[in-house]
Chains A and B, each alone.
Chain A
Amino acid sequence: MKKIKIKVDGLNFYYHQKRVLKDLKAELEENLITVISGPSGEGKTTFLMSLNRIYESIPQSRMDGKIMMKFGGGYVDIHSLSPSSLRKKVGMVFQYPNPLPMSIFKNVAFPLKLSGIKDKSYVAGRVEEVLKDAFLWDEVKDRLMDSALKLSGGQQQRLCISRAMIMQPEVMLLDEPTSSLDKDAADKIEKLLLNFKGRCTFVIVSHDGDLIGRIADRVLTLKGGKF
């Protein structure tokens, strides 16, 4: 029997007066990789942004409809949670890597510090764990205190995914995570995603047909504001 993690019902999304998503309905399965594809400008990123309510940072944008997520056994309307507690459960990585201007270690540990976790050995252990999961540990273990801005684009993107994964989110949203990278770097991201597969529900926006074929459990095509 299918285990549904995210239920979207009657989702409409507006920028100013423009309706981008139209009465969208979808059910996304738990711990699988769902890829959202479709032509540019159809609202794929908007759909991702509505799942963690980050659209609320965009002036004059609004949504109506219902998004329910299964947390702790029951379904919860995402608007009943505070934005910060929702986003601790629903991580997100953008198309272009956005490491903070601080060391590699501090970047990855940043979400733990935000949550007030001060146990140094726990933090160090978690940082090592996620960096190993992202196949980045061997590349950076000797320079953890170097600025994250010195890493290559692909390494920065893996660092951003590690940073998002350190809070052990139940849902991970990735917006075209490989589109700004060369083939080698993109392959490493793919390997990383397969490594994380099964640990949380991935919703990925991608145009890369080959990548979709290799990693997706399910593909949803967004066209004309509808799946």
Chain B
Amino acid sequence: MSRFMEYGVTLFAWVSGLILVSTIGSLLTFLLYKGIPALSLPLIFGETGPIDGLLLRKEVFDGLFPAIVGTLLLVIISVIWAIPIGVAGGIYLAEYCKLEWKSFFNFFLDVLAGIPSILVGLFGFTVSIFLHKHLSREVYPCLLISSLALACLVLPYIIRTTEQALRDLPFSIKTTGLVLGSSKLQNILFILIPYSFSRIISGIILAIGRCAEDTAVIMLTGVVAMAGIPSTLFSQYEALPFYIYYISSDFGSQEELMTGYGASLILLFICTFLFTLARILKKKVAIRFANLI
């Protein structure tokens, strides 16, 4: 390769990196600039006292608190559905699936990953109508339906990362347990998962981000503008992404739009909090795995 090409490629790599960093930087700066002035206790708790609101002694009607709780619940419940199925699916594809079946499953996984989220939302909505007609008149679009639909949306991420993480392990690591006489399951539990745990968690972090930001799915499956804090899985709920969408598309005044920026910043904090939690878990669980044996 000529010297000119060498410099050209290096320069292009640097510029690309710079564009990435500056884009994220500008986005964050813009959000902080617009969002920080809007942040206040009344934005979150409205006219209700913060302690009363936090302890659920009084309902918050004109603040973001129910949407914050709704978002947190939605992400946590969705991930609770998606993690066991996603990780087990990834393990199946990497360790148990016969070659002739693999392309069949991969095709469906690619289709699932490529489905627009609005269609997943529509599917969730259809399921809730079906359940309403055939199972119980009490079933409507709700937190449960939203979380299941979101779990479907993020399953491909978790399955793919788990599968890839297990498959990328070197042969000598992959077979460490097997050559010592372990069963296939022991090898998966004691060797393969601890070794690839950090990459599996990366997939889960991606899934958390996707669950927290998706609006299309929840719009059709249970989120509403005013619902308060959901009392059961069958309740409707509020969520920050929907609030941000709703305010930005239909704001009545500049002050109202500012609350949208405040909500965006809070959503960003929630995502950061969940990512940090996932990273702490990653470290803690990795240590536990090492001490398991």
Q: Which residues of A contact B (CB under 8 A)?
A: 52, 54, 57-60, 83-85, 87-88, 91-92, 94-96, 98, 100-102, 106, 109-111, 113-115, 163-164, 167
- A58 to B95: give the CA distance in the assembly, Å: 11
Q: Of the 9-residue stretches B19-27, B37-45, B137-145, B179-187, which lies at the interface with chain A?
A: B179-187
Q: Which residues of B contact A (CB under 8 A)?
A: 99, 171-183, 186, 190-191, 194-195, 290-291, 293
B residues less than 8 Å from A164 (CB atoms): 179-180
- A85 to B180: give the CA distance in the assembly, Å: 10
Closest to A56 in B: B178
If A100-B191, A101-B194, A110-B293 touch, whether A167 touches B99 (CB-CB below 8 Å) is no
Q: Report the minimum CB–CB distance from A6 to chain B (whole Å).
A: 17
Within the complex, which residue of B180, B186, B293 is in contact with A167, where a contact is CB–CB below 8 Å? Answer: B180
Query: Could you tell me if A111 and B178 are in contact, using CB atoms closer than 8 angstroms?
Result: no
27 contacts between A and B (CB under 8 A): A52-B179, A54-B175, A54-B178, A54-B179, A57-B171, A57-B175, A57-B178, A60-B99, A84-B182, A84-B183, A87-B181, A91-B179, A91-B180, A92-B179, A96-B172, A98-B172, A100-B176, A101-B194, A101-B290, A102-B290, A106-B293, A113-B293, A114-B180, A114-B186, A114-B190, A115-B181, A167-B181
Q: Is the interface of B mostly helix, strand, loop or mixed?
A: helix
Within the complex, which residue of B173, B182, B194 is in contact with A98, where a contact is CB–CB below 8 Å? Answer: B173
B residues less than 8 Å from A167 (CB atoms): 180-181
A residues less than 8 Å from B177 (CB atoms): 114
A residues less than 8 Å from B182 (CB atoms): 84, 114
- A52 to B178: give the CA distance in the assembly, Å: 10
- What number of A-B contacts does a CB cutoff of 8 Å give? 61
B residues less than 8 Å from A57 (CB atoms): 171, 174-175, 178
Apart from the given pairs A57-B178, A100-B191, A114-B190, 17 other A-B contacts in the complex at a CB distance below 8 Å:
A52-B179, A54-B179, A57-B171, A60-B99, A87-B178, A87-B180, A91-B179, A95-B172, A98-B173, A100-B176, A101-B195, A102-B291, A110-B180, A111-B180, A114-B186, A164-B179, A167-B181
B residues less than 8 Å from A59 (CB atoms): 99
Q: Report the minimum CB–CB distance from B252 to chain A (whole Å).
A: 57
Query: Could you tell me if B290 and A87 are in contact, using CB atoms closer than 8 angstroms?
Result: no
- A114 to B188: give the CA distance in the assembly, Å: 13
Choose among A54, A100, A164 the residue with the greatest number of B CB atoms under 10 Å from its CB: A100
B residues less than 8 Å from A113 (CB atoms): 293
Q: Report the minimum CB–CB distance from B211 to chain A (whole Å).
A: 30
Nearest first, the 7 closest Cβ-Cβ pairs linking A and B are A88-B181, A92-B179, A94-B172, A111-B180, A87-B181, A98-B172, A102-B290
Within the complex, which residue of A60, A85, A98 is in contact with B176, where a contact is CB–CB below 8 Å? Answer: A98
- A94 to B179: give the CA distance in the assembly, Å: 10
Query: Could you tell me if A114 and B175 are in contact, using CB atoms closer than 8 angstroms?
Result: no
- A51 to B177: give the CA distance in the assembly, Å: 17
Closest to A93 in B: B179
- A164 to B179: give the CA distance in the assembly, Å: 8
Closest to A173 in B: B179
Q: Report the minimum CB–CB distance from B32 to chain A (whole Å).
A: 39
Closest to B182 in A: A114
B residues less than 8 Å from A106 (CB atoms): 293
B residues less than 8 Å from A109 (CB atoms): 293
Q: Report the minimum CB–CB distance from B8 to chain A (whole Å).
A: 38
- A91 to B176: give the CA distance in the assembly, Å: 11
- A96 to B290: give the CA distance in the assembly, Å: 21
B residues less than 8 Å from A83 (CB atoms): 178
